[in-house]
Chains A and B, each alone.
Chain A
Amino acid sequence: MKGLYAIYRKEMGHYFVSPVAYVVVGVFLALSAFFFNYFLAAVMQQAMQMQMQEMEMGMHPNIDVTMEVMRAFFGLLSTLVLFLTPMLTMGVFSEERKRGTMELLMTSPITEIQIVVGKFLASVTLFAIMLLPTAAYLVFIYVHSDPVPPWRLLVAGYVGVMLLGGCLLSLGSFISSLTENQLIAAVLTFAAFLGVWVIDLGRNAGGGAGNVLEYLSVIRHFDDFTRGVIDSSSLIYYASFMILFVFLTVRAVDSMRWRRA
């Protein structure tokens, strides 16, 4: 446990002295703020148009502005996460290998599991820190909405983004453990993310294969969360995904001892 904490602490320190983390978090916050504003304006305008139609033709407007904005916003967060998390994980192991510090870690009395899990938890923490300021936008919505939307929506949305992020971080760490080159790690991670993203399209195949592909898509499960639903099958899916890739990373780090030439 102490070894794990030592790694975690070192990683957190590393994130906050490296420019990469600041750039990624900064870009993420700037883009999310911009799009939040944009969605809000767009949905408001749409609502206004519908209200005018109601006055002209006596139809009941059927738009929940809050819900629409929040769903669009969580969808946006997931897309930004897709583009930006490869930058957070690209150096996790490849940089250690390149600098030769992997040799220090692997000749110290700590296990591969402590190294991998410590690093994973640090990246998840940084991810949470990155998300935190965006909650301010949603609090703004809650303050100005009437009636106040259920808090479940907000909580489920963030749980979903965190789980999605955790999956991508575990996958990214695994890929980073396979190469010494950060750039290769980032590109491959991005490609792999896109892969697990678009598996979702496979559900159109229909039948048994379609169902399996639909279940395997990270984004399909995410949709439930944006509707305020915390589904146990999605929780199991995300948990299995993370455990699988953390385990694979442990194996990959362990195999470095044998692969080294």
Chain B
Amino acid sequence: MIEVQDLTKSYGSVIAVDHVSFTVNKGEILGFLGPNGAGKTTTMRILTGYMPATSGTARIAGFDVFDDSLEVRRHIGYLPEAPPVYPDMTVASYLDFVARIKNVPSERRAERVADAMHKTNIEDKRDQLIKRLSRGYKQRVGLAQALVHDPDVIILDEPTVGLDPKQIIEVRHLIKGLAGNHTIILSTHILPEVSMTCDRVVIINKGKVAAVDTPENLTAQLKGGQKIRVEVQAPERSLQELLAQIPGVSRTQIEAAHANGHVTATVEAAAGKDVRSQIAAGVVQKGWPLFELRGVSLSLEDIFLELTTEDSAHSEAAD
């Protein structure tokens, strides 16, 4: 449904998007994950035809976003970072206007507007001026605007920003419900959002794609190693020595030494080797009291940090 090939966008000497490639299949939800300024918004703006790419191609529903821009725009619904609303319009008249400029036939307009309001749960605000609405409601009006013409592809730039926790859950449900009939790209810098709603994730950093995979695979892939946290009452140095001697341990780090003599340390071990029993045996043999021993699973957050900080370390070295 969406094919992006070597997409590059530079502003003068600054490269905002650097040879980004990915594809999105029909009915899929793709998460676009990256820190602020990573190039998420720029990529989305190129996809929606709002601005041209410097080089590379992007096709939506078979149409090139640059050459067949109008055709592409017929197929997409887009919620920019800030909801593009007219403060002096009522919710219903605003959605009616959007339906008109999105070429919704007049006989279906009322029905489409009602459906969009129903899906985003703003029916009770239909006759209110948009400027009187709260941030969360405005965001939902923006979302309704992206759905009103029932587009094949929906592009959402940080759709849950400014919503309260309950509304965030509602919006995530809404997005999940839209998948299947619609192909969705959403950007976010909130990690749980990706694992909860997306089928696949593109991690983007400094304009480059750092990883593309399902949230599960990403977690599994980077879980190659094992991380263990131990808390022992022992001298710092001897504890480190002991842990380092255990076969299979690749790295030991003392996290903190507490005033009561407790020391917490993180141990990284190669995949497939459970070193916990050896750690326990070693500590007990020394006669040190063991307070905690647990495996730490890498969250998407760790992966994200790992990928993005690693990348920046590389690029800094290159500079």
Residues of B66-85 contacting chain A, CB below 8 A: 70-71, 73-74, 76, 78, 80, 82-85
- Once bound together, how far apart are the Cα atoms of A18 and B11, in whole Å? 37
Grouping DSSP codes into helix (H, G, I), strand (E, B) and loop, the B interface class, with mixed when no group exceeds half, is loop
Residue of B73, B84, B103 touching A101 (CB-CB under 8 A): B84
Q: Determine whether the beta carbon of A260 is less than 8 Å from that of B102.
A: no
Q: Determine whether the beta carbon of A6 is less than 8 Å from that of B80.
A: no
Q: Determine whether the beta carbon of A13 is less than 8 Å from that of B89.
A: yes
**How many interface residues does chain B have, given as a range?**
20 to 34
Q: Give the residues in chain B near A261, CB-CB below 8 Å.
A: 11-12
- Once bound together, how far apart are the Cα atoms of A26 and B48, in whole Å? 42
Q: Give the residues in chain B near A10, CB-CB below 8 Å.
A: 86, 89, 97
Q: Determine whether the beta carbon of A105 is less than 8 Å from that of B70.
A: no
Instruction: Answer yes or no: B183 CB below 8 A from chain A CBs.
Output: no
Instruction: Answer yes or no: B101 CB below 8 A from chain A CBs.
Output: yes
Q: Give the residues in chain A near B89, CB-CB below 8 Å.
A: 10, 13-14, 17
Instruction: Answer yes or no: B145 CB below 8 A from chain A CBs.
Output: yes
Q: Determine whether the beta carbon of A257 is less than 8 Å from that of B101.
A: no
- A13, A17, A100, A104 interface centre (most CB from chain B within 10 Å): A104
**How many interface residues does chain A have, given as a range?**
20 to 34
Q: A100-B80, A109-B70 are in contact. Are A2 and B50 (CB under 8 A)?
A: no
The 0/1 profile, CB within 8 Å of B marked 1, for residues 1-44 of chain A is 01101110110011001100000000000000000000000000
Q: Determine whether the beta carbon of B98 is less than 8 Å from that of A104.
A: yes
Q: Determine whether the beta carbon of A13 is less than 8 Å from that of B103.
A: no
Q: Determine whether the beta carbon of B73 is less than 8 Å from that of A107.
A: yes
Using CB atoms, name the residue of chain A closest to B93.
Answer: A13
Q: A13-B89, A257-B50 are in contact. Are A104 and B100 (CB under 8 A)?
A: no
Instruction: Answer yes or no: B27 CB below 8 A from chain A CBs.
Output: no
Instruction: Answer yes or no: A258 CB below 8 A from chain B CBs.
Output: yes
Instruction: Answer yes or no: B49 CB below 8 A from chain A CBs.
Output: yes
Q: Determine whether the beta carbon of B102 is less than 8 Å from that of A258.
A: no
Q: Determine whether the beta carbon of B101 is less than 8 Å from that of A108.
A: yes
- Once bound together, how far apart are the Cα atoms of A257 and B50, in whole Å? 6
Q: Determine whether the beta carbon of A258 is less than 8 Å from that of B51.
A: yes
- Once bound together, how far apart are the Cα atoms of A107 and B76, in whole Å? 8
Can you list 21 residue pairs at the A/B interface with Cβ under 8 Å? A3-B101, A3-B103, A7-B101, A10-B86, A10-B97, A14-B88, A99-B86, A101-B86, A103-B45, A103-B80, A104-B78, A104-B84, A107-B50, A108-B73, A108-B102, A109-B70, A109-B103, A257-B50, A257-B51, A260-B51, A261-B12
Known: A101-B86, A104-B78. 11 other contacts (CB 8 A): A3-B103, A13-B89, A14-B86, A18-B88, A99-B86, A100-B80, A100-B83, A107-B76, A108-B102, A109-B74, A109-B103
Please list the residues of chain A having a beta carbon within 8 angstroms of any beta carbon in chain B. 2-3, 5-7, 9-10, 13-14, 17-18, 99-101, 103-111, 257-258, 260-261
A-B interface, 3 closest residue pairs, ranked by CB to CB distance from nearest: A6-B100, A104-B84, A107-B48
